[in-house]
Structure formats: structure tokens, C-alpha cells
Structure 1
């Protein structure tokens, strides 16, 4: 009886180990393939934004006021950190909450200063096409220049942990505005929700929707 119980326990242990090993291999393979398969769109970056109704409407409103940036997304090789509607909503609502307290007329993307809008939108666009492979060897991240104004932004790429594996999950870019400071505690940062979306002229990374468009500068720059 004791021998039979021992055999049953051994069989159960072997079964659990086999299932666990299979699960780990399956998950590891899935995450590995995440980086090997680029999403592709047959069109330019601006057309990609237009093809996603309800996601980038606010960014399109801003770009239609900024013909030079719009042209860059249509015709130049660029990397775009695409900001969703929610991020613009956060910033515009914050602005108008403050303006309401001082009895000022509300402002929206169609009416805020076009010069300030250009400064802020430019920070999300970089000349040249860069995938996560171009950032993965920089452990401390990499400084890149905005398409206009030559403004320093910072990109840090890492793989998330998953299924018990350190760095076994999907790739995430942390995109930061260093605020012209060498001290990271003063930086404003946001993660990405998706990376490496390939269009005919650009690589697009999608900024997480909780991001405050303008990296905390929208209210101070537009509340005049």
C-alpha cells in the first residue's frame, strides 16, 4: 500500500512538472514572437492615424493646424509616438478647469496658441525610423531630438517580466521629457501600449492613454 502511494505521488509530481515546463515554453515563445512580427500598414503615418477612428481624432485636429508636421508624417521618414484622444482630453480638461476658476473663456485644440501646439506636438516626432531593436542595447536609454526645435527627448526600452521569466514579456518603451535636466526625478515619463507599428514611411509607437499630453506643460503653455 505504501509502495503504491509512493508511485502515485511520483507520477503526479512528474505530470505537474511536465505541464509546467510546457506552459513556460509556450509563453516564452509567444513573447519572443511579439518582437519578431511587426504590425504593418500600407500607407503613410498620417493615413494610419486617419484609419483609426475614435483613437487619434484629437491628434489629427492638432496636426491639421500644423501643416509642416502633417507633411512630415505624410512624406518623411519619421518615428512617431502617437498620442490618443484620452491624453488630449486629460490636458484640455485640466486647462479649462483652471480657466473656469478665473472666469476665462474655455480653450480647445482648435483655439490654443498654434506656436505652443507646434512645440508640444513636435516632441512626439523624431526624424528617421527607429524600431525597438535600435534602442535595446542602451541600458540607460538614449537621448533623441524632436523633429522641430532640436529638443531632447529620452527613450528607454525594456522587456516586461512575464510567466516567471525576467524580461520574458512584451517590449515597452518609456518615453520621457527630461525638461532639460540631468536629474531623472524632474523628468516626465510615459510608457507605450504598443510598439513597432510599421507604415510606408514611419515607425509608430502608441503612448499609453493615461499620459498627459504635453508632459505637464499644456496648461502653463496655453493658459494665457
Structure 2
């Protein structure tokens, strides 16, 4: 509850957005410790990580840049996709300023693939797993309906069926090919931000309910 209240207070101070910055993560850089991208005055640094079933995040592995987007290799012999095979991979997106995330585009997506959304609820520089099972649309681009404003996000792959952990064909796996964000430029006055407060409560409440329902099933 404390994190939700802090997050909602942050939403009340959410700023208006400038023109959207569109990032294309494709390339041929191969595996590295990090990659940085700059577009329309916004810079994002991408780094590799893994997260536990309980949502604890760790910096681990290497991030890869390929013609189809970003992937993670978190252990020897791991595929170069963001996957839930043995370890739950995620890409850490650290922006040099506050932005509102608008959409994320994926490649190598199968019909059953889902992604985990991580966000710095504090905000304290630590990612929290918000939703473990966000469906990836058939067109490969997920549009965020909520108001998620900050400088630290994560997109990962999670598989809660531990009996399948080594069956690669059944894992959630994909690459991240692009992202669109709105840079923040000015603070919204408190009265104007009140609708965002309600939206933040509703969105976080829904994600918490869905996670509890999934883990209880």
C-alpha cells in the first residue's frame, strides 16, 4: 500500500509531455554490457537483468542488439531472446529524464507469448514487477493505456510453470524492437492532476488483482 500511495503521489506531480520520442533498437552490435540510444533529445540506456518469481531484480547477463531488436543472454548457452527459460530475463530501460511510456514493440512473438512490466514505484531506483502476464498483441506492439511516468522501466519474460522451465518451445520469449515515450516538460497543477490520481489507483489495483489471481491458480 505504501508503494501505491507513493506512486499515486508521483502521478499527481506528473508532467505534461512533449513530442514523442521513437526508439528503434535494431542493429548488429551483438552482446555487450549495455547499449544507449538517443532520439529527439532523450537518451535511454539499456542493460540486462533477471528477476525472481517473487519479483526481486538482479543485474546479470549481457544484452544483445540484433537486426530484430534487443535480447538477453543471462547464462552460458542461453538463447539471445528475452525469455523465461531457466531464468526470467528482462531489459532495463534507464532514461536520462522523466518520460511517459506509450508503447513497446516486439519481434519473434508466438501466439502465447506474454511480457512482464517492471516499474520504479518508489521512485527509489529499484524496479518492481507490476504485472507478470501482459498479453502481446498479434501486431507485436503493446499500447500502454495507463499513465506510467518515470525514468526507469523494465520489460521481461516470466514463466510461472516451473515444470516447463527447460522446455524452450513452451517459454515466453521475444525480442524488443522499439519503444515510444513522451518526454516530460512541465508540472501539471494539482487540480488538473486529480483524474490521474484516480487512474493510477485503478490501474495499480487491477494489476495487483490480476497477479494475485494468476499466482493463486
TM-score for both structures, normalised by structure 1: 0.25
TM-score for both structures, normalised by structure 2: 0.25
Relative contact order, higher structure (CA 8 A, sep 6+):
2
Normalized per residue, the structure richer in strand is 2
Normalized per residue, the structure richer in helix is 1
